[in-house]
Amino acid sequence: MQVFKRILSPIALVTALVFAASAGQAADIKERSLKFPIVNAIDHPQGLGVQKFIEVVDKKSGGKIKIKVFPNGTLGGEQQVASAMQGGTIELSAMSPAQIVGTIKEFVVLDFPFSFANVAQADAVLDGPFGQKLMDYMPAKGWVGLGFMEQGYRSISNSKRPINKLEDIKGLKIRTISNPLYVDMLNTLGANAVAMPFPELYTALEMKTVDGQENPETSVDSSKFYEVQKYFSADRHIYNPQMIMASKKFWDTLSADEKSIFQEAMVEARNVQRKAARAMTDKSRKVLIEHGMLLNEIAPAELQRMKDAVKPVTDKYAAQLDPALVKAFYAELDRTKNLK
């Protein structure tokens, strides 16, 4: 028996060493230097989320994966960046899904005006199976969606008058993104919609090329539009998520360990960013007032008039999609309508 024990002990020792070596095996992480452009300022909620994402990737990769953020549209507007990502020359970015509906039409459901009653409902829809269903369309077009953060509710600012009722929008030249639904929505409300890249917007407002624009309070604050705008009317016509996305050409070069790092960073960044974005909305409203902007809410009855006015626009774009997708979206809205 003692001989058997003496023979077994070295075998057990070797086995233990093999398992120990396996458990301690280094993760498959390469040295990488990546570009992450955004159109907003670094202190905008978009920038805060990106910074958190970069921080987590750096920590979890042991400093091997370095990501440099390029704020303020220094590498181009969002659609220019999205195209570069398809080609693999830019690895990462964060933008509204509305920017890629020209390539993936299904994302337009998120832009149906006046859909999300509150941010709790938006979170539940975006973080659940429906949000994943939308991101599943992306790899075939050259991108990989990692998850959703928050841009906020878009509202109209302008230099001419407050908007208290539907008729007040009539005739205003309003800048919007290069998305047909946005253009149709504003024109249907009575505005003259002008699509242009975000980096060109401040100058256009300053030169009176356009009277106003539509973005959340945080964008008006971080881009200092209060210097060239007088009125901010909180119609909250569209809820804008932000999506962290990767170039598929880049993504396909990553190991499973590296992909896990990015996915874990997405969750941490999302949670931090949404909390910061919502706090910054309140802070930004105060900043706009301090800089002389006049902010106003719009009566529920007038908001309903606006929603009714743009229903033909919603119906037009819904008709271009798979009816099953539209049905699933409205089912999600119904399922989450009581969330607060």
Asked whether the predicted pLDDT for residue 132 surpasses 80, the reply is yes
If you average pLDDT over residues 62-75, what whole number do you get? 97
More confident position, 309 or 43: 309
If you average pLDDT over residues 141-162, what whole number do you get? 97
Asked whether the predicted pLDDT for residue 13 surpasses 80, the reply is no
Report how far residue 185's alpha carbon sits from residue 83's, in angstroms, rounded to the nearest whole number: 25
In the block, residue with structure tokens 């938006």 = 122
pLDDT at 44: 87
Condensed to tens digits (0 to 9), the pLDDT of residues 239-292 reads: 999 999 999 999 999 999 999 999 999 999 999 999 999 999 999 999 999 999
Q: Which residues pair with 154 in a beta bridge?
A: 238
Confidence of residue 21 (pLDDT cuts 50, 70, 90): very low
pLDDT at 1: 46
Asked whether the predicted pLDDT for residue 10 surpasses 50, the reply is no
Condensed to tens digits (0 to 9), the pLDDT of residues 214-248 reads: 999 999 999 999 999 999 999 999 999 999 999 99
pLDDT at 25: 59
Condensed to tens digits (0 to 9), the pLDDT of residues 36-63 reads: 999 998 988 899 999 999 999 999 999 9
Asked whether the predicted pLDDT for residue 23 surpasses 90, the reply is no
Mean pLDDT, the chain, as a whole number? Answer: 93
List, in order of start, the domains of the chain with CATH numbers: 30-335 (3.40.190.170)
Distance of CA 167 to the CA centre of its chain: 31
Asked whether the predicted pLDDT for residue 15 surpasses 80, the reply is no
pLDDT at 288: 98
More confident position, 133 or 15: 133
Q: What is the DSSP letter of 254?
A: S
240: CB partners within 8 A, 6+ apart: 96, 98, 150, 151, 152, 153, 154, 216
pLDDT at 4: 41
Report the chain's terminal Cα–Cα distance, integer Å.
70
List the single range of 22-26, 47-51, 67-71, 177-181 with lowest mean pLDDT: 22-26
Q: Contact, 277 vs 45, CB < 8 A? A: yes
pLDDT at 69: 98
Condensed to tens digits (0 to 9), the pLDDT of residues 168-203 reads: 999 999 999 999 999 999 999 999 999 999 999 999
If you average pLDDT over residues 306-322, what whole number do you get? 98
Asked whether the predicted pLDDT for residue 24 surpasses 50, the reply is no
As a dihedral over the C-alpha atoms of residue 132, residue 80, residue 310, residue 299, rounded to 10 degrees, the angle is 90
Residue 111 CB-density burial (10 A; 0-12 exposed, 13-18 middle, 19+ buried): buried
Q: Contact, 322 vs 197, CB < 8 A? A: no
Q: Contact, 186 vs 176, CB < 8 A? A: yes
Condensed to tens digits (0 to 9), the pLDDT of residues 79-131 reads: 999 999 999 999 999 999 999 999 999 999 999 999 999 999 999 999 999 99
